[in-house]
Chain A
């Protein structure tokens, strides 16, 4: 039962990540692309890791995965923010119409 629930969560996470990669190619301008790719990728990562944690039960393996999730949730938005900030500060034009 637990393994099945973990598998379902992993499949949902894969759906998120596929949407993220699709968004990566769909948008023409850089800013909507960086927004979509980073946000959806972080959510997909969290769902994937909860699926793995559910699947592996309650032991030190899950604790390590929890540490990785905690670290990633903190740093991935920061990294993507620094990319968008560097693009904005260097004068990359904002898109006027919708992406």
Chain B
């Protein structure tokens, strides 16, 4: 278990904790917040994975993931607020 693998395990557990928040969250906005935190932790996991494997094309995946996480979070938040007349 090298250092990066331990870091990956810890980040995975923290991602699970933010998913737990999304599951438990009483309101819909807690769920969006859990989704947003999970997507940011996934970006961290992918970048550390890219560092572990010394492959730089994985970083493009992390960037696209962060982009989609951001757009998804904003659109879900607006949908919850305004209904379908967005």
* A contact set with B: CB distance below 8 Å: 7, 10, 14, 17-18, 20-21, 24-25, 30, 33-34, 37-38, 41, 45, 48-49, 52, 55-56, 60-61, 64-65, 67-68, 71-72, 75-76, 78-80, 82-87, 89-90, 92
Once the chains bind, are A10 and B7 in contact (CB under 8 Å)?
yes
Q: Known interface pairs A21-B14, A24-B17, A24-B18. Does A78 touch B74 (Cβ–Cβ under 8 Å)? A: yes
**Do residues B74 and A79 form an inter-chain contact, with CB atoms below 8 A?**
yes
Complex Cα–Cα for A7 and B4 (A): 9
| Chain A interface mostly | helix
Closest partner residue, chain A, to B26 (CB atom) = A30
Please report the C-alpha to C-alpha distance between residue A33 and residue B30 in the assembled complex, in whole angstroms.
Answer: 9
Q: Smallest CB-CB separation from A17: which chain B residue?
A: B14
Known: A52-B47, A64-B56, A75-B66. A17 touches B11 (CB 8 A): yes
The reply to whether B40 and A41 contact each other, CB–CB distance below 8 Å, is yes
Chain B contact surface mostly:
helix
Q: Do the beta carbons of A55 and B51 come within 8 Å of each other? A: yes
Asked if A68 and B74 make an inter-chain contact with CB atoms under 8 angstroms apart, the answer reads: no
Contact with A along B1-20 (1 / 0, CB 8 A): 00100010011001001100
Write out, one digit per residue, whether chain B residues 22-33 have a CB within 8 A of any chain A CB (1) or not (0).
Answer: 000001011011
Q: Are A64 and B60 touching (Cβ within 8 A)? A: yes
List the A residue with the shortest CB-CB distance to B83. A90
